[in-house]
Amino acid sequence: MNGVVGLTISTGSVRGLGSSYSYEDLDKIAQYVLTCTKQRPKIAIICGSGLGGLAETLSEKECLAYKDIPNFPVSTVPGHAGRLVFGKIGDKSVMCMQGRFHMYEGYPAWKCAMPVRVMKLMGVNTLFVTNAAGGVNPDYHVGDLMLIKDHINMPGMASNNPLVGDNDERFGVRFPAMTEAYDKKLRKLAHEIANNLGFGDFLRDGVYTMLGGPSFETIAELRYLRLIGTDAIGMSTCPEVVTARHCGMRVFGMSLITNVCVMDYEDDRVPNHEEVLETGKMRAGDMELLIRRLVSEMEDE
């Protein structure tokens, strides 16, 4: 196990406000993962609930279960296989996380986002994040694809930011800007590709709001979220994106609208995870195609 097993995870902050893996801990994990694949990816893709199929489309596929990586968290949610998949899209090396970590599983924000730092230390410079999300914008339909133009990090705003605790300047500055979290050039290219693919009718551009979960939202909460500018909601993504931007990675984000949020007291439909996974199956192929084209056509950083 290359000495990784024995590492002790440091408690990052003496003030008890956050604890985290040290730079050295994460580097050991990154070096271990690199020994398990021949790929040297500069692009990583985090697959959302029910969206892991993209990883199956890679050529020269190699898989590594999270449980086999020393000191790596494990996935506990249906629809998240819990493994890294390495391979190629065209001639580009990529790595996929088939399954992510959520705060409602009991992981603090920094732990949900720790794979992003591992990726950075492996040489990744561009992060794609995908998720299943509920549509709050009344114009959205089940099966729409939303390019994330910005986010509202609800847990982050309440001090559950993945960067809470001591700051290691080797990753980034103490106070990183989040004004252009989602790369404009990649979004523009994604729009062009989506239009060429005939996806224009179901392509959206919107604001993703992260909530802690795991309970779905009350009607009053949904009305409030719409009022503050939310187009779609979910329980993930923001810790990963904040951590990626902190360490200078380029980020592209996309949500699949798996359900429309019920915002009317007279409507008795209720959201559920099975519906989320079913919709994933319906539109996942289109999402995969768009991401594969984007990876192939984008310029390297």
Question: Which residue's C-beta sits nearest to ligand R1P?
Answer: 48
151 is annotated as an active-site residue: no
- Catalytic (active site) residue 93: no
3-state secondary structure 211-257: CCCCCCCCHHHHHHHHHCCCCEEECCCHHHHHHHHHCCCEEEEEEEE
Name every residue whose Cβ is closer than 8 Å to that of residue 195 and which is 6 or more positions away in sequence: 203
Nearest to 68 by CA among 16, 33, 108: 33
Q: Rounded distance, CA 50 to CA 281, Å? A: 7
Cβ at position 237, least distance to ligand HPA in Å: 10
Contact between 236 and ligand R1P per CB under 6 A:
yes
Known binding-site residues for phosphate equal 49, 80, 100-102, 132, 236
The interface region with ligand R1P, picked from 37-45, 67-75, 197-205, 233-241 by CB under 6 A, is 233-241
Structure tokens that stand for 25 in this block: 């801990």
Q: How far apart are CA 234 and CA 103, in angstroms?
A: 12
Binding annotation for a purine D-ribonucleoside: 217, 259
- Listed in sequence order, the DSSP H helices in the chain are 23-35, 53-56, 109-112, 114-122, 154-157, 184-196, 219-227, 238-246, 273-297
Annotated binding-site residue numbers: 49, 80, 100-102, 132, 217, 236, 259
Give me the catalytic one of 137, 236, 246, 254. 236
Per CB under 6 A, 93 contacts ligand R1P: no
Integer Rg of the chain from CA: 18
> Which residue, 242 or 261, has its beta carbon nearer to ligand HPA?
261
Closest CA to 204 of 186, 215, 191, 193: 191
Q: Does 132 bind ligand R1P (CB under 6 A)?
A: yes
Please choose which of ligand R1P, ligand HPA, none residue 199 contacts, taking the beta carbon within 5 to 8 angstroms, the exact cut-off set by kind: none
Span of 35-43, 147-155, 180-188, 232-240 interacting with ligand R1P by CB under 6 A: 232-240
Q: Which is nearer to ligand HPA, 217 or 286 (CB)?
A: 217
Interactions with ligand HPA, residue window 211-250 (CB under 6 A): 216-217, 233-235
Q: Is 80 a catalytic residue?
A: yes
The type of residue at 255 is S
Interface residues toward ligand HPA, by CB under 6 A: 132-134, 216-217, 233-235, 258-259, 261, 271, 276
